[in-house]
Amino acid sequence: MRNRRRRVIVGLVLLATAVAVVAPFIGMERIAPSEVLRPAPDSVEPAIFWQIRVPRVATAFVAGAVLAVCGMAFQAMFRNPLATPFTLGVSSGASLGAAIYVRLGVYFSVFGIGGASVAAFVGALAAMATVYGLTRARGGFSSTTLLLAGVAMSFFFSSLILAIQYTASLHDSFRLIRWMMGGLAMVGYGSLLNILPFALPGIAILAFMTQELNLIATGEDLAASRGVDVARTKQVLFFAVSLAVGGVVAICGPIGFVGMMAPHMCRLMIGEDHRALFPATLLFGGAFLTLCDAVGRTVAAPAEVPVGVITALIGGPFFLWLLFRRGDIGLG
Amino acid sequence: MSDLAFDVAGLSVRIGGKPILREITFALGAGRSLAIIGPNGAGKSTLLKSLGRIGIRAEGRIDVFGRPQHQYAQRALARCVSYVPQADGRTAPFTAFEFVLMARYPHLGAFAHLTHEDERIAREAMARAGVAEFATRRLDTLSGGERQKVYVAAALAQEARAILLDEPTTFLDYRHQAEILQLVRSVQSEAGLTVLTVMHDLNHGALKSDHVLALRSGTAAFWGTPGELLEGGRLEEVYDTSFDVISHPETGDPIVVPARGFV
């Protein structure tokens, strides 16, 4: 068991490294390693590589990792394979926050962090607080009820976003649509620096709570009986997820599917123990989104397919195949 | 008296404004066993959970091993009180060993990792409960009886001085019922654990425990020994139906059977 875990983690580290190293060379214009290492005097390739591709790949990796581990955390907390920041309305809350920010046209920044990120975080936190309030109200609701509430909230937020879009100028409206598709086309080092202050603390908090996630996945009563302060732990987890997802959604838009698929893929490979599942999911999610983005840059070159479209196109059928092959996945 | 496991006075629980338990008072010595009985909806599980502060906060005084419950952090409380939930058929797909090992959580400091010592204790607890062979099996592939024994093993690995069991034998076949009852009784007598068990069927060991607490509509209807419970009409008061008490043909132990309307 332990050897198998080690093998899977080592395999994922190698995969993630390979993807991260190769991806910057791939795109509308393929760049040969020699062009970067020993550039010709007046070539543009090194600039494309260092100024566009590298920050883009780094952003994709961080975004994929964040969405995957947040999905993992939600699946454990709600003991439901469909629970993700996406299905519980956190992503759409973040989207709404960012959409309102764009529509209002008041551009501000806090300590160099863009206002869109802050607005998305506030939106994510508001959605999260609603879900959390529902888990507390009247002695709590079943996770099925919460999921339904999350879906309802998603639709509600989405129609608000549509309304905002409808009243926006043509320019803002186009920006919103492109952003809603989930894209990494416009990112640079600035975007990466905007994501990291949200993503890193969020991921770090989750990394320290893998044992609590294990226990909560066995049921809240059992977790409490084993010494987990369930209410406080859930507050911290909700906060960490809002922070990380808000930061990612503000820059990349609501990218779906990674959060649901990556943890399940890793569960099938490595089992349920979150102490091993967390690093596996982090690496797999990061590598998967980086790969999807690389594919999106090349399949229809010179045009680009938004990464959100690719994740669902690749991930959907693959996930279905996996489901029907195995018959069942965990946490049912 | 400082050797009381639980000293409870005026324990009340309201859930969503609705009173579930009212003014429960009892004291249970360390190392003794208590059966909590009563009809459906009497509040038995709620009482059990409130003693371990498991998703339920009760009003009133609850002293656990001589200290007010509210002075315990959840982890410290879990080092004193472990819990085996009602078998609801829902389990996370951990392996049995992973699940038992997790019960070592209350003994870890913040940010500390599980050690080989924890693994050794988990293995010992599994051997004690007779489930060592299931170590690498996923919980959701075990039968109800096997799984219940794994749950008891986890509670043992937690190394608490008191164990709360919520209907541990309901839904189990006869062999597993007997094995669980025997296991629980042996940990009480050998390890000196305090055992509190919610029971649906009086013949599942309630009449063998040191004390019986009967609940009815959220209040204590009876507190005493099993012998006192069987005296004049007390069972009838608790359950609102008539019983006959017969003797086991070999051991002579009392067995409670409903008087009418059955068989």
Instruction: State mean pLDDT over A69-79.
Output: 92
Pairing mode of beta strands B18-29, B4-15: antiparallel
B-chain residue closest to A216, CA distance: B92
pLDDT for B261: 62
> Is residue A141 over pLDDT 80?
no
Query: In the structure, what pLDDT confidence band is assigned to residue B47 with cuts at 50, 70 and 90?
Result: very high
Instruction: State mean pLDDT over B194-214.
Output: 90
B103 touches chain A (CB under 8 A): yes
Instruction: State mean pLDDT over B144-150.
Output: 92
Instruction: State mean pLDDT over B195-215.
Output: 90
> Is residue A315 over pLDDT 80?
no
Q: List B6's β-bridge partners, or say none.
A: B28, B64
When mean pLDDT is compared across A162-171, A203-212, B216-225, the lowest value belongs to A162-171
- Mean pLDDT rounded to a whole number for chain A: 85
Which is more confident, A330 or A265? A265
Q: Which residues contact B187 (CB under 8 A, 6 or more apart)?
A: B128, B156, B163, B193, B195
ipTM: 0.92
Chain A residues inside the 8 Å CB shell of B49? 221
Instruction: State mean pLDDT over B190-207.
Output: 89
Instruction: State mean pLDDT over B89-113.
Output: 87
Alpha-carbon distance of A324 to A35, in angstroms, equals 45
pLDDT for A13: 95
Residue A168 backbone phi and psi in degrees, to 5: -80, 165
Q: Which residues contact A53 (CB under 8 A, 6 or more apart)?
A: A23, A24, A25, A27, A31
Query: In the structure, what pLDDT confidence band is assigned to residue A274 with cuts at 50, 70 and 90?
Result: very high
Which is more confident, B252 or A280? A280
pLDDT for B252: 84
Nearest 5 degrees, angle CA A40-CA A45-CA A50?
120
Nearest 5 degrees, angle CA A21-CA A24-CA A27?
140
Query: In the structure, what pLDDT confidence band is assigned to residue A328 with cuts at 50, 70 and 90?
Result: low
pLDDT > 70: percent of chain B = 98
Q: Check if the beta carbon of residue A63 is closer than 8 Å to that of residue A248.
A: yes
Is B85 within 8 Å of A222 when comparing Cβ atoms? yes
The one-letter code for the residue type at A154 is S
> Is residue A67 over pLDDT 50?
yes
The one-letter code for the residue type at A245 is V
> Is residue A108 over pLDDT 80?
no
pLDDT > 70: percent of chain A = 90
Alpha-carbon distance of A122 to A205, in angstroms, equals 19
Q: Which of A307, A311, A306, A220 is nearest to A265 (CA)?
A: A311
Segment B8-28, tens digit of pLDDT: 999 999 987 889 999 999 999
Chain A residues inside the 8 Å CB shell of B46? none
Which is more confident, A41 or B65? B65
Segment A195-220, tens digit of pLDDT: 899 999 999 999 999 999 999 999 98
- Mutation target to probe the A interface, by most A beta carbons within 10 A, among B57, B90, B102 is B102
pLDDT for A158: 86
pLDDT for A92: 87
> Is residue B182 over pLDDT 80?
yes
For chain B, positions 204-263, list CB contacts with chain A under 8 A.
none
pLDDT for A332: 40
Q: Which residues contact B99 (CB under 8 A, 6 or more apart)?
A: A218, B139, B150, B154
pLDDT for A330: 47
Residue count of chain B, please give it. Answer: 263
For chain A, positions 262-281, list CB contacts with chain B under 8 A.
271-273
Q: How many CB atoms lie within 10 A of CB B226?
A: 20
> Is residue A41 over pLDDT 90?
no
Alpha-carbon distance of B199 to B219, in angstroms, equals 16
Chain A residues inside the 8 Å CB shell of B147? none
pLDDT for A112: 63
Q: Check if the beta carbon of residue B37 is closer than 8 Å to that of residue B44.
A: yes
Instruction: State mean pLDDT over B222-243.
Output: 88
Measured in whole angstroms, the distance separating CA A193 from the mean position of its chain's CA atoms is 16
Measured in whole angstroms, the distance separating CA A1 from the mean position of its chain's CA atoms is 29
pLDDT for A51: 85
Exposed (0-12), middle (13-18) or buried (19+): which is A275, by Cβ within 10 Å? middle
When mean pLDDT is compared across A68-82, A110-124, A174-188, A283-297, the lowest value belongs to A174-188
pLDDT for B146: 92
When mean pLDDT is compared across A183-192, B35-44, B134-143, B188-197, the lowest value belongs to A183-192
pLDDT for A331: 44
Q: Which residues contact A104 (CB under 8 A, 6 or more apart)?
A: none
pLDDT > 90: percent of chain A = 32
Q: How many CB atoms lie within 10 A of CB A228?
A: 25
Query: In the structure, what pLDDT confidence band is assigned to residue B75 with cuts at 50, 70 and 90?
Result: very high
Q: Enter the tokens of residue B117.
A: 């010592």
Q: Check if the beta carbon of residue A292 is closer than 8 Å to that of residue A23.
A: no
Query: Chain B closest CA to A328's CA: distance in Å?
Result: 11
Instruction: State mean pLDDT over B44-56.
Output: 94
pLDDT for A251: 84
Query: In the structure, what pLDDT confidence band is assigned to residue A103 with cuts at 50, 70 and 90?
Result: confident
Residue count of chain A, please give it. Answer: 332
Nearest Cβ partner of B94 from A225, A226, A273? A273
pLDDT for B92: 79
Alpha-carbon distance of B240 to B260, in angstroms, equals 12
Q: How many A×B Cβ pairs under 8 Å?
A: 83
Q: Which residues contact A47 (CB under 8 A, 6 or more apart)?
A: none
Query: In the structure, what pLDDT confidence band is assigned to residue B156 with cuts at 50, 70 and 90?
Result: very high
Which is more confident, B145 or B2? B145
H or E, element range at A315:
helix A307-326
A-chain residue closest to B18, CA distance: A138
Alpha-carbon distance of A44 to A50, in angstroms, equals 10
Say whether A87 sits in a helix, a strand or coil: coil
Alpha-carbon distance of A82 to A78, in angstroms, equals 9
Query: Chain A closest CA to B166's CA: distance in Å?
Result: 12
- Mutation target to probe the B interface, by most B beta carbons within 10 A, among A79, A135, A222 is A222
When mean pLDDT is compared across A24-38, A53-67, B215-229, the lowest value belongs to A24-38
From residue A323, give the alpha-carbon distance in Å to each of A261, A268, A271, A320, A330: 11, 10, 15, 5, 11
Segment A233-272, tens digit of pLDDT: 988 998 999 899 988 988 888 887 899 889 998 998 898 9
pLDDT for A57: 93
Alpha-carbon distance of A285 to A259, in angstroms, equals 8
